[in-house]
Structure 1
Amino acid sequence: MDSLAASSSSAASSSSSPPPPPFTDPPNYAFPHHRLRRTLRNPDKQPIVLVACGSFSPVTFLHLRMFEMAVDYVRQNTDFEIVGGYLSPVSDQYKKPGLLSAHHRVNMCTLAAEQTSTWLMVDPWEAFQSYQRTAVVLDHFDHEINTCLGGVATADGVRKPVRPMLLAGSDLIATMGEPGVWSEPDLEHILGRYGVLTVERAGADMDQAIDSLARWRHNIHLIHQLIQNDVSSTKVRLFLRRGLSVRYLLPAPVVDYIEENGLYKDDGPTTSASSGAVTAEREKAAEREKGKVAP
């Protein structure tokens, strides 16, 4: 049993109250688990949850489609069993053009998950606090599901720890393969401890990226798009600024929400996450905290 399974199994089997979480939670936070499947269908499978971290500004059909592609891949190519899927919108303190406040982004993700899916959930833990590194976000899911909830059970009652796995586009993996962008400890934590399911995207050089991440190749699962979809939040925002329709690029409830709230008419400072803006010095510190090693 690897270190993740060993530590999670020990926590899951403990009958005493879980220790205080080593994390800071946003005010009034409760971990969403209403769609988390608590019983394995196949006791021989390793239970996993898919965690997609990103801006989701706005969430698109491709973001949601990635989860369905992952389901097909896992069923056909692995010994995993998916027991849940989460969108984890990034904090306001990660400023970039087009990043609306976490309030709007979480609302849009929730509409998309609750009204178009039967198994996806939105975890606002990352969104409503200071910037959290991806490695820490995955630790948070590990803690909530395995320590607090006790993992999942087989049909005969045997408890098993759940492994969080990052779900991402191949452009993210490409950045992981670039020297000096991600810290080595974070790469070891994300790719070595948890693993990633990555969906190919046009323009990302996956061969070169995976070659540079060869030591974790066993934990990097590349999912090919059988039907190419290059819809992106950036393109959607451009359409909206030009007054063009984005229906059938986004879930209908998300389109309605954007129109009702007059969002994305301008990607300037007023629509970036100004309410959570940080100074240049603090932003650089947040970037370094995320795992980038350049000062």
Structure 2
Amino acid sequence: MSPQPPNPTAPASTPASTAASSQATPPEPFPSGATLVPYNFPTQKLKLRQTQQDKTPLVLVACGSFSPITYLHLRMFEMASDFVRFNTEFEVCGGYLSPVSDAYKKVGLAPGHHRVNMCSRAVDQSSWLMVDPFETVKANQDGEPEYVPTAKVLRHFDYEINTVLGGIEAPDGTRKKARIALLAGADLVMSMGEPGLWSPADLQVILGSFGAFIIERSGTDIDEALGSLSQYESNIWVISQVIQNDISSTKVRLFLKKDLSVRYLIPDPVVEYIEENHLFHNEPNKGGRMSPAADANPGPSAS
């Protein structure tokens, strides 16, 4: 199994010409009925028809705790969208936030339905960002929350978009397979570069079959990590963070526990939701992080 740091980028960006590497269509990754509540894959903001014939459709997926979601999580998508537009042969057709399962058992992790609701409020005004609750409703055979490794999350999106929906329609009416890619912060690649933390099989799926767009962070040196991932360099795109932003969910929770204002650190609708539901105030620790042996669904930022 691969590692499990919290849900959370390669010096020079890699060639965009390799972006269209093929992905084998996987079988349905999750049996029907294996969820805590009825589930429907969200497609309301997914661009089902491209505007540029010569581009490869791209869907960005950020896995993370989002406890709570911050402006940095949202800015990551906008930075990636700009980067894709000017530096690659992709056309962004959608962006998804995928909050991690309650089975992750991370300190400060609010219940899944609250994290999904906060993310939904945060992206309500976005024309292209959506929240997929699948990880938070995935259940095991005993009806308990089940952790979903990052590799399986990406396969889930590939199945829903490319198998169920049949991909994205090009301007000429043909169907194209969408490229699914992980969107994350520099700490993700750094964790992937640590020997023994991630399983080779999962790395092959995440970076070999799908790929990742990584946001650089001040204070992080990922050169060494990227060196150990050199076999995947054609599937890793590094995005510079021109305006530094170190807001994290951890810092937001600390402010809330101290009864300090978090306005302008996170979206107002999220602030209101936290206040309405009395989240993160004097909450007890929920136990330690999962063992590094279990795949950590690293996401956009250390949270």
Shared topology, TM-score over 0.5?
yes
Does the CA contact (< 8 Å) of 2:214 and 2:239 recur in 1? yes
Alignment-derived partner of residue 257 in structure 1: 273
Please state if 1:41 is matched with 2:40.
no
Q: Which amino acid aligns with 1:208?
A: E
CA distance in 1, matches of 2:296, 2:188: 13
Please state if 1:247 is matched with 2:257.
no
Alignment-derived partner of residue 174 in structure 2: 158
CA distance in 2, matches of 1:191, 1:229: 26
CA distance in 2, matches of 1:291, 1:105: 17
Identity %: 56
Which ranges of structure 2 fall in alignment gaps of 5 or more residues? 1-19, 139-145, 298-303
Deviation of 1:2 after TM superposition, in Å, equals: 4.4
Deviation string, structure 1 residues 99-127 (Cα, Å, up to 9, x no partner): 01101100000111113x11100000111
Instruction: Determine helix, strand or coil for the equivalent of 2:182.
Output: strand
Alignment-derived partner of residue 74 in structure 1: 84
Instruction: Determine helix, strand or coil for the equivalent of 2:183.
Output: strand
Which ranges of structure 1 fall in alignment gaps of 5 or more residues? 12-18
Q: Which amino acid aligns with 1:118?
A: S
Alignment-derived partner of residue 242 in structure 2: 226
Deviation string, structure 1 residues 172-209 (Cα, Å, up to 9, x no partner): 11100111110111111100100000001233221111
CA change 1:67–1:2 in 2 (3 A) is closer
Q: TM-score, normalised by structure 1?
A: 0.86
Alignment-derived partner of residue 87 in structure 1: 97
Please state if 1:181 is matched with 2:186.
no
Does the CA contact (< 8 Å) of 1:53 and 1:90 recur in 2? yes
Q: Tell which structure's C-alpha radius of gyration is larger.
A: 1
Does the CA contact (< 8 Å) of 2:58 and 2:179 recur in 1? yes
CA change 1:230–1:188 in 2 (3 A) is same
Deviation of 1:291 after TM superposition, in Å, equals: 7.2
Alignment-derived partner of residue 123 in structure 1: 132
Alignment-derived partner of residue 208 in structure 1: 224
CA distance in 2, matches of 1:131, 1:239: 28
CA change 1:65–1:157 in 2 (3 A) is same
CA distance in 1, matches of 2:93, 2:22: 21
CA distance in 2, matches of 1:220, 1:2: 12
Deviation string, structure 1 residues 34-86 (Cα, Å, up to 9, x no partner): 00001111111111100000000000000000000001110111101110000
Match of 1:113 among 123, 126, 141: 123
Match of 2:42 among 18, 32, 50: 32
Instruction: Determine helix, strand or coil for the equivalent of 1:118.
Output: coil
Please state if 1:217 is matched with 2:204.
no
Alignment-derived partner of residue 295 in structure 2: 290
Higher helix share: 1
Instruction: Determine helix, strand or coil for the equivalent of 1:237.
Output: helix
Q: TM-score, normalised by structure 2?
A: 0.84
Alignment-derived partner of residue 68 in structure 2: 58
Q: Which amino acid aligns with 1:42?
A: Q
Aligned-residue RMSD, C-alpha: 2.0
Please state if 1:142 is matched with 2:158.
yes
CA distance in 2, matches of 1:22, 1:174: 27
Superposed counterparts of 1:13-24, under 5 Å: 21-24=28-31
Q: Which runs of 4+ in 1 moved over 4 A?
A: none
CA distance in 2, matches of 1:37, 1:168: 22
Alignment-derived partner of residue 170 in structure 1: 186
CA distance in 2, matches of 1:2, 1:231: 34
Does the CA contact (< 8 Å) of 2:193 and 2:229 recur in 1? yes
Deviation of 1:143 after TM superposition, in Å, equals: 0.1
Does the CA contact (< 8 Å) of 2:29 and 2:152 recur in 1? no
